[in-house]
Amino acid sequence: MRPVILHHIASLASLAGPAGYRRSADMRDVSPLHDASIVIVDGHIHWVGRSTELDRATAPDAEELDCTGMTVLPGFVDCHTHAMFAGSRHDEFAMRASGRSYQDIAEAGGGILSTVRATRTASKRELKRTTARRLDAMMEHGTTTVEVKSGYGLSETDELKMLEALHELRQEHLATVVPTFLGAHAVPPEFAGNPGGYLDLLITRLLPYAARKGLSDTCDVFCESGYFSVEQTRRLLTTARSLGLKVRLHADQLNQIGASALGVELGAISVDHLECIDAAGIARLRGSSTAGVLLPGASFFLGGPYAPARDLIDQGIPVAIATNFNPGSCMSFSMPLMMTIACTQMRMSPEEALTASTINAAAVLGLADRVGSIEVGKAADIIVLDAPSYRSVAYEFGVNLVRRVIKNGVLLEFP
Ligand SMILES: [Zn+2]
């Protein structure tokens, strides 16, 4: 593999620091450097420093990228997506524009279940093809690590189809793909009025099979009224933990039913959403090992409310942001757009938004020792943006500033 040298970088935010969560004021330190250079050898970061100290002899025959006037960042880590799905819900978008709520639409047979119908019809090959195209586009927008959840199959056959498709994509696609089992995304029509019966299927068959086959090392649940109760969620996630899986929860999005409290009780990796978390919920998170994953795109697309990012950060809770890319509540995979919304609507600083989109998101996925910052020894997942400062990433919104993407040391070419 040919070495790569990036030199004369106008604005480098390396996010150098401990290989784990950054909290409170540490979220505002992105380790900026001006007129910087990076040397990449064998897919890893070999050296980072000032251009005046660059020693080209350490990387003979390197491909050189002149980054004058450019910003360089670690590749974004999107730690919460539903990027594998079939169909499109543009008609529901029009319904919502005319005043119907997300819950109204779900009750009328739309919502998650309409994507479930389309995903069940699609073959594994078709799901892989469409998801690979989305992953390509995500990389083109600077995302180099992507978590993708199952949860649009909701039957034994179709959940396994999704998990196997993700497992294959994980081996075949250049992006780092992290699959999460979300069999408890909604109660499928076959079990309408009998969520306990569906949970039995998940607990006795799907979850043990997925764990045994190594299809996912994490189990997630949509814990909301109308979906899965706290008690049902506890039952499923306790089983997941006993099988050695990590657990995460969709928590406190539409209502406050105690989902984030359950996450703390179970030692969840993260509680995601938190639009409706209250002061008591925040107090419980404080001092726990559970991170908050905020999804500003969903609030923006559904018309608010937003998670209390300011309180969470100020109280020392590690915060990550993600797209929640999905056909119902956020049909965008742009991490920079999420950063803009986080800054304008949730009062996060550009530095906090960047930390939340890189190293903290990597920590949620257990990958903070490999990606999420530009430091010697880490994988060379690096993006080059046509922007004078890392602050421009959130500031210049609705445009793709990414010009070059380096994944594991490979300089990608886009059509
Ligand atoms: Zn989600």
Domains along the sequence of the chain with CATH: 4-74+373-411 (2.30.40.10), 77-364 (3.20.20.140)
Residue with tokens 């408890």: 184
pLDDT reported for residue 58: 93
CA of 275 from ligand 1 middle (Å) equals 13
Mean pLDDT of the residues in the chain: 96
Distance CA 102, CA 326 (A): 14
pLDDT reported for residue 33: 97
Distance CA 340, CA 347 (A): 10
415 burial type by CB count under 10 A (0-12 exposed, 13-18 middle, 19+ buried): exposed
CA of 292 from ligand 1 middle (Å) equals 13
The arithmetic mean of pLDDT across residues 132-138, rounded, is: 98
pLDDT at 402 over 90: yes
The arithmetic mean of pLDDT across residues 30-54, rounded, is: 97
CA of 23 from ligand 1 middle (Å) equals 23
Distance CA 240, CA 247 (A): 7
CA pseudo-torsion sign 383, 384, 386, 387: positive
pLDDT reported for residue 351: 98
pLDDT reported for residue 209: 96
pLDDT reported for residue 413: 87
User: Across the strands, what pairs with 40?
Assistant: 4, 45
Distance CA 353, CA 88 (A): 29
CA of 102 from ligand 1 middle (Å) equals 14
CA of 172 from ligand 1 middle (Å) equals 24
CA of 8 from ligand 1 middle (Å) equals 39
CA of 82 from ligand 1 middle (Å) equals 6
- 166 — pLDDT class (breaks 50, 70, 90): very high
- What are the Cα distances from residue 355, in Å, to 73, 268, 318, 403, 414? 11, 21, 10, 21, 26
CA of 302 from ligand 1 middle (Å) equals 13
CA of 104 from ligand 1 middle (Å) equals 19
378-392 residue pLDDT tens: 999 999 999 999 999
% the chain with pLDDT above 70: 100
pLDDT reported for residue 109: 77
The arithmetic mean of pLDDT across residues 114-139, rounded, is: 98
- What are the Cα distances from residue 48, in Å, to 93, 211, 295, 345? 46, 39, 32, 34
Distance CA 116, CA 273 (A): 21
pLDDT at 415 over 80: no
CA of 183 from ligand 1 middle (Å) equals 12
- 108 — pLDDT class (breaks 50, 70, 90): confident
Q: Taking the CA of residue 370 as centre, how many other CA atoms within 13 Å lie in the half-sphere pointing to its CB?
A: 12
CA of 263 from ligand 1 middle (Å) equals 15
CA of 109 from ligand 1 middle (Å) equals 19
